[in-house]
Amino acid sequence: MAKRSPQFTPANSTELIEKFINYVMLDGKKSVARRIFKDTLELIEKRGYKKPEETFERAVRNVSPSLEVKAKRVGGSVYQIPMEVQQKRQIALSFRWILSAARGKKGSPLSKRLADELIEACEGTGAAVKKKEDVFKMAQANKAFAHFARY
């Protein structure tokens, strides 16, 4: 039986990083998710970003939405009502969008695709940032229905 390597737990791991590792994890394989995240940080560092953890946090901040639309039924009609996004949901949505953008690209290991997406998000480009902008535009377009939020 092959000997398992010890799990990667960075000394400077934050709550945000641990939460993201949980989002990366599939089928309860946390050691695989940690390895993917570690490889992602190494790739970010190789690309010239001296502090990959800060790059990751900046990317998450750039993808976090401030407004979103929620469907609400008022008088038989369904309206898309713009609402502010709570802090916990901002983080959850940004993680989800970054991962779906990285998983949507095919042809290379997840760590490389994730590193590409995090770098693009850090610079304000990429699929995850586009998703955030699309959600914001939708909220802006439906501003007229904001008065239904109190119902």
Q: The dihedral of CA 25, 117, 64, 78: what is its sign?
A: negative
**pLDDT for the residue numbered 121:** 95
Residue 23 in any domain: the answer is: yes
Residue 6 in any domain: the answer is: no
What domain range includes position 127?
A: 15-150
**pLDDT exceeds cutoff 80 at 1:** no
Residue 4 in any domain: the answer is: no
Q: Is 74 exposed, middle or buried (0-12, 13-18, 19+ CB in 10 A)?
A: exposed
Residue 3 in any domain: the answer is: no
- Please report where in the chains the tokens 């770098």 appear, as a residue: 119
Give the domain CATH number at 32: 1.10.455.10
**pLDDT for the residue numbered 150:** 78
pLDDT digits (tens, 9 = 90+) for 82-128: 999 999 999 999 999 999 999 999 999 999 999 999 999 999 999 99
pLDDT digits (tens, 9 = 90+) for 49-77: 899 999 999 999 999 999 999 999 989 99
Residue 2 in any domain: the answer is: no
Residue 7 in any domain: the answer is: no
pLDDT digits (tens, 9 = 90+) for 12-42: 688 999 999 999 999 999 999 999 999 999 9
Q: Is 108 helix (H, G, I), strand (E, B) or coil?
A: coil
Residue 5 in any domain: the answer is: no
Please count the structural domains in the chain.
1
Q: What is the mean pLDDT of residues 138-145?
A: 94
Residue 9 in any domain: the answer is: no
